[in-house]
Amino acid sequence: MFEAFVREVGSGQPADLVRAARRAQAAGFGVLALPGLPLGAVYALSDPAPLPPLWVAVLAGLGALLAVLVLRLAHSAARDPGQPPARAVLTAALQSGGAPAVPFLLGCTLLAQPLAVPALWALAGLGYAAAWSRVPGWVQAAGTRRT
């Protein structure tokens, strides 16, 4: 996987940079989110008190707000004129992996509440799709900046 990533970054082709950025995005999400599963399971074993539905909705809203904030910061990183274009795109892709990680991790804290988990993880899926869809635009913007 690492060899393919290096090859894609070094090729100079926009389609390859999109693939490399999406690999970086997936890695960023994985690094942040995967520890949440075992930690959430251990927490669920402690039999925590269930949160009322209103608080679950507040957590979902907070997760959505933080995901949007992460995407805005990643967008700013993608347009950073102080970095080479490919580095700016990869930086933004790594950062945008945090957008779906926030609601995913909140879902992991609520593993003891089976109805709350799908809602937060669906929100994480939306955050991942939003981040995924922005990568080609970042690459295109980097390509026009290079010329």
Residue 89 pLDDT > 50: yes
Q: Predicted confidence band at 147 (pLDDT cuts at 50, 70, 90)? A: very low
Say what the pLDDT of residue 15 is. 86
Asked whether residue 11 carries a pLDDT value surpassing 90, the answer given is no
Q: Which of 9-13, 60-64, 100-104 has the lowest mean pLDDT?
A: 9-13
Cα–Cα dist 52/104, whole Å: 19
Task: Look up the pTM and report it.
Answer: 0.88
CA 134 to chain centre: 11
pLDDT in tens, 45-61: 999 999 999 999 999 99
Task: Give the pLDDT confidence of 20-34 residue by residue, as tens digits.
Answer: 999 999 999 999 999
Model pLDDT, residue 145: 64
Q: Which residues contact 32 (CB under 8 A, 6 or more apart)?
A: 97, 98, 101, 105
